[in-house]
């Protein structure tokens, strides 16, 4: 099957290439003039980067292999500083490039380092997890974590291209693959209900990389994100809808010291957002939200005793404006809206619903 190309529009348009065995497309995503390519990849998964390193070397680039810690542990100022030093040692110039290979944490880090080195060099992202393909690697938001919260330090830098090789997905654990489905399901609720219909028609198939609708689900979710970020790169309005479920999700991740999978936290956060929508007199999609998430094995509740900590974590959220808390809710299916500065009683009542 041929590769699909989805263009993300905006001031710096780029393509997301989707297909199986598409590593040969990688050099074509780099802009002209590149001499040196720094490949940022997880140190514990060298096999994922070998085809990338080989494709770049075969195309004649000077390649610097830069392994970083696995998972969220790579998104620290210390790791970023180490990469800046490495780029200096390898003489990376403004006309050169960074390639990020791995899950969402690695692509976030690679994009951040590229955006801050020499005030910005081009980056191409090669996501290797479902979550990274459908969300983290598309959109140009890059960041690292601090003790105060997730992604609080970051940049906006659209990549020069994104390469989604579906051939790597069977190598994921089922838990990691299913966690990525949370972001796919989010796309169904905020923009493309066909996603929900496909999953509801075959929940078991949706949990497999070789499922009958896998490629369509991935392409549909990427199109949702491409349409949104193409219209609003810097999250001035429309792009905020992509944060559906994320305010509580980021608080849970911090509460769990980032040991919980992002998608699992987002699943719980979507149930919370659905309850906020219902209790504020908007759409009641709580039943469908719980049903579709549980059908693929995602969590839909969290423990009651955590609320005081989570509420404090939520106060430091990127979507807040001044002292006002902002949540994405649903007026109806595929009709997201913003709930500003809700009453504390409403927030706590919604949380009680997800502890039952």
Quote the CA–CA distance of 87 and 98 in Å, as a whole number: 9
**Are 80 and 148 part of one and the same domain?**
yes
Catalytic residue among 213, 235, 278, 290: 235
Provide the 3-class DSSP secondary structure of residue 89.
Answer: helix
108 is in an annotated binding site: yes
Question: Is 75 marked as binding a ligand?
Answer: yes
- Quick one: pLDDT at residue 322? 57
pLDDT band at 354 (very low <50, low <70, confident <90, very high): very high
Could you tell me if 167 and 226 lie in one domain?
Answer: no
Tokens 């999609």 belong to residue? 285
Is residue 10 domain-shared with residue 143, that is, in the same domain? yes
Same domain, yes or no: 120 and 30: yes
- Considering the entire predicted model, what is its pTM? 0.94
Assess if residue 288 is contained within a domain.
Answer: yes
Alpha carbon separation from 193 to 86, 162, 341 (Å, rounded)? 45, 25, 28
303 is catalytic: no
Q: Are residues 132 and 209 in the same domain?
A: no
In a domain, 281, yes or no: yes
Identify whether residues 333 and 255 lie together within a single domain: yes
Q: How high is the pLDDT of residue 227?
A: 93
Rounded CA separation 140/142 (Å)? 6
The pLDDT tens digits of the residues spanning 107-161 come to 999 999 999 999 999 999 999 999 999 999 999 999 999 888 888 899 999 999 9
Same domain, 283 and 341: yes
Residue 302 within a domain = yes
CATH code of the domain containing 24: 3.40.50.1970
The answer to whether 348 is a known ligand-binding residue is no
pLDDT in tens, 259-303: 999 999 999 999 999 999 999 999 999 999 999 999 999 999 999
Which is catalytic among the residues 220, 223, 239, 261?
239
User: Catalytic annotation on 313?
Assistant: no
**Is residue 162 located within the same domain as residue 225?**
no
Of 192, 198, 342, the residue nearest 275 (C-alpha): 342
Does 30 fall in a domain? Answer: yes
| Residue 181, domain member (yes or no) | no
Whether residue 309 lies in the annotated active site: no
Residues 344 and 306 both lie in one domain: yes
Annotated active-site residue 186? The verdict is no
Decide if 239 is catalytic.
Answer: yes
Is 347 among the domain residues?
yes
Q: What's 302's domain CATH number?
A: 1.20.1090.10
Question: What is the average pLDDT score of the chain?
Answer: 95
pLDDT of residue 270: 98
Higher pLDDT, 237 or 187: 187
Give the Cα separation of 241 and 327 in Å (integer): 9
Contact 274, 330 (CB under 8 A): yes
Mean pLDDT confidence for 306-322: 81
Q: Are 238 and 146 within one domain?
A: no
Q: Judge whether 119 counts as a catalytic residue.
A: yes
Structure tokens at 240: 């905020």
Q: Can you give the residue range of the structural domain that contains 25?
A: 4-171
Q: Residue 235: which pLDDT band, with cuts at 50, 70 and 90?
A: confident
**Rg of the chain, C-alpha, whole Å:** 20
Q: Does residue 150 lie in a domain region?
A: yes
Most distant CA atoms of the chain, gap in Å: 61
- 217/337 same-domain check: yes
Residue 244 and residue 323 share a domain? yes
Give the whole-number percent of the chain exceeding pLDDT 90. 88
Residue 195 lies in a domain: yes
The domain tally of the chain equals: 2
């Amino acid at each position: 099957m041929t590769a699909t190309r989805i263009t993300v529009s905006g001031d710096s348009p780029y393509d997301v290439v989707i297909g199986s065995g598409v590593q040969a497309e990688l050099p074509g995503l780099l802009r002209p003039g590149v001499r040196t390519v720094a490949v940022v990849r997880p140190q514990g998964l060298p096999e994922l980067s070998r085809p990338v390193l080989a494709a770049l070397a075969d195309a004649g680039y000077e390649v610097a292999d830069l392994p970083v810690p696995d998972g969220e542990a790579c998104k620290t100022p210390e790791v970023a500083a180490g990469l800046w030093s490495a780029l200096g040692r390898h003489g990376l110039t403004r006309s050169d490039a960074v390639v990020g290979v791995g899950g969402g944490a690695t692509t976030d880090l690679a994009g951040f380092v590229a955006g801050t080195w020499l005030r910005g060099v081009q980056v191409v992202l090669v996501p290797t997890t479902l979550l990274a393909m459908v969300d983290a690697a598309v959109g140009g938001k890059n960041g690292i974590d601090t003790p105060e919260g997730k992604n609080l330090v970051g940049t906006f830098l659209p990549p020069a291209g994104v390469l989604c090789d579906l051939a790597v997905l069977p190598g994921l654990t089922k838990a990691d693959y299913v966690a990525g489905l949370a972001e796919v399901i989010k796309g169904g609720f905020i923009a493309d209900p066909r996603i929900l219909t496909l999953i509801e028609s075959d929940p078991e198939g949706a949990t497999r990389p070789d499922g009958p609708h896998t490629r369509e689900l991935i392409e549909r979710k990427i199109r949702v994100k491409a349409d949104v970020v193409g219209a609003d790169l810097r999250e001035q309005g429309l792009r905020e809808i992509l944060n559906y479920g994320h305010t509580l999700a980021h608080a849970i991740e911090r509460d769990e010291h980032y040991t919980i999978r992002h998608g699992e936290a987002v699943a719980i956060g979507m149930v919370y957002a659905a309850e906020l929508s219902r209790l504020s007199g908007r759409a009641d999609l709580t039943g469908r939200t719980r049903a579709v998430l549980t059908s693929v094995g995602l969590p839909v509740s969290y423990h009651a005793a955590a609320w005081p900590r989570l509420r404090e974590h939520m106060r430091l959220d990127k979507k807040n404006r001044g002292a006002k808390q902002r949540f994405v809710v649903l007026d109806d299916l595929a009709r997201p809206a913003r709930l500003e500065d809700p009453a504390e009683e409403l927030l706590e009542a919604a949380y009680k619903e997800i502890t039952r």
